[in-house]
């Protein structure tokens, strides 16, 4: 027993504590039911798909000889035009920096897509000109964008016809 307190004041203190505890439980239950009644927040992520085709894709590299497939450790750049459809209208240009490596994980490539409404930047590993790459960001209409894209490049220097295809899925 605490000195200087009477049984009556202890009972009053205990009653007040019980009322406060029950009130807290009630508030917690009410908050839970309000949260349950609130509609779930809708996702604000939207996706957009851009399909681009390429022509005139060629490899240029310091010391690279025309017609030879790059060797592991070679570096180069790829350039070409971007089209809105196969054989369609030019909608931009493509440029990349390439670091040719072993088969696994493949060639490391940094891509830039220069389009009328902004620029997209991507990075990925490709094998035999094909791979799935990450969208790192962009400018203009593509500012803040992220996503992935499938890339296929059929370079003339690797025996191809200079065509390319990119299927880009953007999230914003």
**pLDDT string in tens for the chain (172-residue length):** 445 545 555 455 445 544 444 444 454 444 454 445 555 566 677 899 999 999 999 888 766 666 666 777 788 899 999 999 999 999 999 999 998 886 667 889 999 999 999 999 999 999 888 999 999 999 999 999 899 999 999 988 778 999 999 999 999 7
CA angle 143, 58, 76 (to 5 degrees): 75
At 34 the pLDDT is: 46
| Nearest residue to 171 (alpha-carbon basis) of 42, 44, 48 | 48
Helix (H, G, I), strand (E, B) or coil at 96: strand
At 157 the pLDDT is: 79
95 close to 77: Cβ distance less than 8 angstroms:
yes
At 21 the pLDDT is: 46
Write down the pTM of the prediction. Answer: 0.71
88 close to 75: Cβ distance less than 8 angstroms:
no
At 101 the pLDDT is: 80
At 20 the pLDDT is: 44
Distance CA 68, CA 151 (A): 22
At 39 the pLDDT is: 58
């Amino acid at each position: 027993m605490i000195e200087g307190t009477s049984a009556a004041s202890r009972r009053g203190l205990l009653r007040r504590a019980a009322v406060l505890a029950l009130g807290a439980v009630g508030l917690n239950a009410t908050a839970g039911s309000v949260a349950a009644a609130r509609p779930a927040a809708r996702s604000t992520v939207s996706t957009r798909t851009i399909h681009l085709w390429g022509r005139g894709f060629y490899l240029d590299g310091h010391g690279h000889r025309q017609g030879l497939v790059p060797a592991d450790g070679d570096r180069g750049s790829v350039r070409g035009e971007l089209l809105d459809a196969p054989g369609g209208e030019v909608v931009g240009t493509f440029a990349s920096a390439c670091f040719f490596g072993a088969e696994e994980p493949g060639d490391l490539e940094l891509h830039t897509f220069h389009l009328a409404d902004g620029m997209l930047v991507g990075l990925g590993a490709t094998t035999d000109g094909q791979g799935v790459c990450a969208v790192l960001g962009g400018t203009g209409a593509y500012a803040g964008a992220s996503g992935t894209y499938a890339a296929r490049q059929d370079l003339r220097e690797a025996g191809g016809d200079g065509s390319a295809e990119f299927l880009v899925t953007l999230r914003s």
